[in-house]
Amino acid sequence: MLKTLVVVGAQWGDEGKGKIVDLLTPGCDVVVRYQGGSNAGHTVIVGGEKCVFHLIPSGILHPGVTCVIGDGVVVDPEVLLKEIDVLKAKGIFRPENLLISKNAHLVMPYHKKLDVARERLRAENKIGTTGRGVGPAYEDKVLRCGIRCADLLNDADFRSKLKTNLMEKNHYIRTILHEDGFEMHQIYHNYMTLAQHIAPHVHNTSKYLADAIASGRKILFEGAQGTLLDVDHGTYPFVTSSNTVAGGACTGTGIGPTMIDSVIGITKAYATRVGEGPFPTELKGDEEKRLRERGGEYGATTGRPRRCGWFDAVAGRYAVRINGFDGMVVTKLDVLDNLDAIEVCTGYLYDGVEIDDFPTETSILSRCTPAYETMPGWKTSTTGIRGFDKLPANAKAYIKRLETLLGVEVLIVSVGATRDEVIIRKNPFER
């Protein structure tokens, strides 16, 4: 029986990972977020009420489950405390069940200003960031001038690092970006106030996880965004600033790769993308609008309308290879319920030549034309169905075709927004 499982988005994010993590959490002891920041958003609908998480793992909804924000996450303390306040108002926050890595880096006010101002200067070449300061926070991490959660616990360290950083940041912000700079004392006092609330949660989470694994506890590692937004393996530069793939679960939590038992991917029954960058199967006009409205395709973090298109098996196979998926979850099958026909991209044509591997160079991907296979729709609701054999014949054929194209088994199919609207063929933890 599996003890550790990594859940990864197989597309450009927004695949429904939050719901699947919520679904699997009752069989877990610990849920860990291993990368990203408040630019991500997991949405879970419980009892008709929408719960959106940007930093806290969605496992927090379940009593007795410890939630960990790992080393690889960049933490905006103001966003984190707002999430905690929302959970407290709902009566479901348990302080002892939230741990934050002492090595996780902090998002600072100047990171947000840099993020927004740089996007403005890029104009038509903008990346499409959320403006939450996540990229600049990771930039400082690599530059070795980042401020970490552990620094919040040491007044002198925090003050010294902030002072040094602001000398450089203010000069750049004022002279290059022509924006107002920051006063050190204002940030210092604000973050020291925030530190009082965050300090009880800050721990050596790498050791905590190692001890938990050694004691046989079940651990679920949840990624944010998706494979095609990975900083190394995605459609660079139209990517996020962290490693979203399964390998990030190790570097982002401080556990060894031999401690991971299994990896599953989450994919929609179609495809979406937020922000800029190439998207070979993107639809246009009324066809895209109908898919967006039926799927509620608006960003959980920004509210931006998502670009929508047909399922891309070329990108899917790439995600399977990069992550080493043992199985897949297909979400939002019900969004396709009313269609007469459904297109599936099985390959690309690039300058008249057929290619079946996913090119990460945007100059190539933007010139790829999808080769489609048309499958018949099922024209009936799947939302109330809880058994795979009870799905319409064409819906079953669609799932089986995706399995063939991807080369992995579909373990779970989601047929609605709420946590119980799923078809579980195999529970990943019981494989």
- Out of 14, 115, 140, 261, which one is annotated catalytic? 14
- Out of 42, 111, 201, 233, which one is annotated catalytic? 42
| Angle, CA 143 vertex, CA 140 and CA 144 arms, to 5° | 90
**Contacts of 291-300 spanning 24+ positions with Cβ under 8 A:** 291/335, 294/335, 294/338, 295/268, 295/270, 295/332, 295/335, 296/417, 297/14, 297/272, 299/14, 299/41, 299/274, 300/14, 300/41, 300/42, 300/43, 300/52
3-state secondary structure the chain: CCCEEEEEECCCCCCCHHHHHHHHHHHCCEEEECCECCCCCEEEEECCEEEEECCCCHHHHCCCCEEEECCCEEECHHHHHHHHHHHHHCCCCCHHHEEEECCCEECCHHHHHHHHHHHHHHHHHCCCCCCCCHHHHHHHHHHCCCCEHHHHCCHHHHHHHHHHHHHHHHHHHHHCCCCCCCCHHHHHHHHHHHHHHHHHHEECHHHHHHHHHHCCCCEEEECCCCHHHCCCCCCCCCCCCCCCCCCHHHHCCCCCHHHCCEEEEEEECCEEECCCCCCCCECCHHHHHHHHHHHCCECCCCCCECEEECEEHHHHHHHHHHHCCCEEEEECHHHHCCCCEEEEEEEEEECCEEECCCCCCHHHHCCEEEEEEEEECCCCCCCCCCCHHHCCHHHHHHHHHHHHHHCCCEEEEECCCECCCEEECCCHHHC
Answer whether 220's CB lies under 8 Å from 21's CB. yes
Q: Which of 205, 169, 200 shows the shortest CA–CA distance to 71?
A: 205
Active site residue 42: yes
Answer whether 315's CB lies under 8 Å from 9's CB. no
Answer whether 131's CB lies under 8 Å from 304's CB. no
Active-site residue set = 14, 42
